[in-house]
Structure 1
Amino acid sequence: MARVALVTGGTRGIGAAISQALKKAGYTVAANYGGNDEAANTFKNKTGIPVYKFDVGDASACETSIRKIEADLGPIEILVNNAGITRDGMFHRMTFEQWSAVIRTNLDSMFACTRPVIEGMRERGFGRIVIISSINGQKGQMGQSNYSAAKAGVVGFAKALAQENAAKGVTVNVIAPGYIATEMVQAVPEEVLKTKILPLIPVGRLGEADEVARGVVYLASDEAGFITGSTLSMNGGQYMV
């Protein structure tokens, strides 16, 4: 029986690539989304991957929805915490609403989505948790104090969780992408991309969502059982840790 994987934010951008790569690798995949029904239904019809709408920052909603997914598909053995938002602004002008919205979706979701599956993983003696962070969680980014804080926070979360669960066959790892050619990045004016972004990337190009997805597939595999508590930087050499 195929292992079940849940990908949060799994119907668009990097998340959509991860969902499809896991399905291609033989997993039974459930893709979470937060609000865009049209995009989610288009994704579902295109890929055949079932979609589940819930707020990853709401612990009660996550508990209820994850139980529904497990009833539909089976126990979740791979969790990809990918969902995230931005609410950018210079800190001296940032509102608490901008701060808390990002912390809630990008960091509180680590508890809300992981807590309902961790006990089952421990009991079965197998689990793979992969968290999508960001280059900006490693180096910081002007105008993103909220986002950088959350994306740095998930790294600490992963290291602690990895230590707690290693003996139970559960690994916890992070992928920190740099600039990836998603809708959001491609919406940046071409002149800004060419003069302000690409010159900072030694390989001279944006990353592809499929490249991140392949990293997730590997970390989710049986073969990656000796890797835990690690952060894989995928940024074309822009920031070397």
Structure 2
Amino acid sequence: MILPSDDDSRKPGDDEPPWGGQPGDPKRPHKGDDASPADDDEDDDDEDDDDDEEFDDSILFQDDEPDAATFGPDMAAEGSGIKAPAPPGWREELREELDECIDELAEIEDPSQDFDPPDPPDLFTFYGELAALRNELRRAFRRSAETAEKFGGALQSLAAHATDSPASLPVALALISLADRISDIPSNTPLSSALEAALTAAGISRVPTTGLPFDPATMTMVGTSPAPEGTAQGTVLSESSQGFRNRDGLLRPASVTVAA
């Protein structure tokens, strides 16, 4: 029976020291008595490098088959291994696109040194001018409405005092001139209605022209135009100036365009 020495801290039944040697030997590092912790780290790094050098990444793809949904049916049918999904000549196409982009950038002119960007708009001044314009338009429309109302009242008064006898020639010509000035006003306005009442009271009527045969007694031909389909020659196509007449006869002939 071997008795433990004084330097052996083991108890009966303990295993041998993991570093080998006789019982009681001091604990020592794996790489020699003089190895330091830094040396141990360097040895570990060397072992890791050796493991990296020996690792073959090809084993990652040895058993993988290309997925038709990812790489397409053509590549999936060629066999195992990861292949580039880019088509042939993609580098040349990419280079051509980059050259085109560079050419487009070269066409853009650089701003000169004297370029002075415009000042930002002054919205406060803009809205102030807009409000002033709105007020001015309101005043103009109000004045126009007041003038038309007064003028319509005068025409209604003239029509009310008219007699069965036709108006004098100066009055008739004045009404015709007034009708020419307000001919662009819609017929449903009070002013136009009052003018029509005054013309009727003075015994003045318009000469009908459009769609009727040309009548040299009441019309003046100022132009001709090709006759549309279904329109007879000599038919009045349009009227450039209205004609008027009273009970005594023609006051002014109408200026018309006739179908040729």
- Name the one with the larger strand percent: 1
Query: Which protein is bigger by CA-based radius of gyration?
Result: 2
TM-score scaled by length of structure 1: 0.23
TM-score scaled by length of structure 2: 0.22
